[in-house]
């Protein structure tokens, strides 16, 4: 299956784009109430959920377009590791049981993107 390796930059680019779009939607939910307002209500400005929403939108947008991808993905990976342990890890070990599957997946996907780079379709690929 060696022939598939030539598609690696493209699949990495698609992983980056679709992960970022999904991640941004978590931020828009927190800060803009779109596509639906969070069940706990809108966060107060400068609170931890508000800061997380801002990072999700801004960091997600940087990863989406592929600009400053590695540092943005690294910060988002760390944010999701902290979010996992603060919100989910205290409720049990298994992500399936503590509701932390998305946080764990975002953490490791962003860590992968931080180490592998943006892949295809990135602004960084267009620059010299």
Phi then psi dihedrals of residue 119, to 5 deg: 75, -160
Residue 82 lies in a domain: yes
Residue 33 lies in a domain: yes
Residue 83 lies in a domain: yes
Lowest-confidence range among 31-40, 43-52, 109-118? Answer: 31-40
Domain that residue 87 falls in: 8-119
Residue 18 lies in a domain: yes
Distance set, CA 58 to CA 47, 53, 80 (Å)? 16, 9, 15
- pLDDT of residue 25 exceeding 80: yes
Residue 110 lies in a domain: yes
- pLDDT of residue 64 exceeding 80: yes
pTM of the model: 0.92
pLDDT category at 128 given cuts 50, 70, 90 is low
Please count the structural domains in the chain.
Answer: 1
Beta carbons of 97 and 89 less than 8 angstroms apart: no
d(CA 40, CA 116): 36
Tokens coding 124: 């960084």
Residue 26 lies in a domain: yes
Residue 1 lies in a domain: no
pLDDT, mean of residues 94-117: 96
């Amino acid at each position: 299956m060696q022939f598939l390796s030539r598609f690696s930059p493209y699949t990495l680019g698609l992983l980056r784009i679709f992960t970022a779009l999904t991640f941004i939607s978590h931020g828009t939910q927190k800060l803009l109430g779109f596509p639906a307002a969070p069940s706990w209500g809108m966060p107060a400005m400068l609170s931890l959920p508000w800061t997380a929403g801002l990072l999700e939108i801004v960091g997600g947008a940087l990863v989406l377009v592929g600009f400053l991808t590695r540092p943005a993905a690294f910060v988002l990976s760390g944010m999701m590791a902290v979010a996992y342990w603060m919100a989910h890890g205290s409720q049990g070990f298994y992500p399936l049981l503590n509701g932390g599957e998305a946080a764990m997946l975002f953490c490791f996907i962003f860590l992968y993107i931080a180490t592998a780079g943006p892949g295809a379709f990135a602004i960084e690929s267009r620059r010299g």
